[in-house]
Amino acid sequence: MNDRLALAIVRRLLLELGAPLGPEVDGALVGPLECWMHEPREDLGGSTPLRALASSEGVDQVRKTLRMISPASEYQRVQLNEEHG
């Protein structure tokens, strides 16, 4: 999978999770999200998000990872707890 397609998928997943997204690159050649996609993660079995997205279950694996680390997901959990508890 090429970097641009993977970046588009990750940005879409973040938007689905309710994360506010601004421009990825602010005068830099590589933005923080693109750097994150190339870093091995324990929750992806030591694979990078880019490599994980190339597998058949990759989108679900990366979605699960983003759900765990996304500030928007944390905000949504707090909102749900306040509404139901």
Output the tens digit of pLDDT for each of the chain's 85 residues: 788 898 889 888 888 888 777 665 555 556 678 888 899 999 999 999 999 999 989 999 999 998 888 765 544 554 445 555 5
* In the block, residue with structure tokens 């992806």: 44
Specify the pTM.
0.69
Measured CA to CA in angstroms, residue 78 lies from 49, 54, 63, 75, 81 at distances of 27, 33, 19, 5, 5
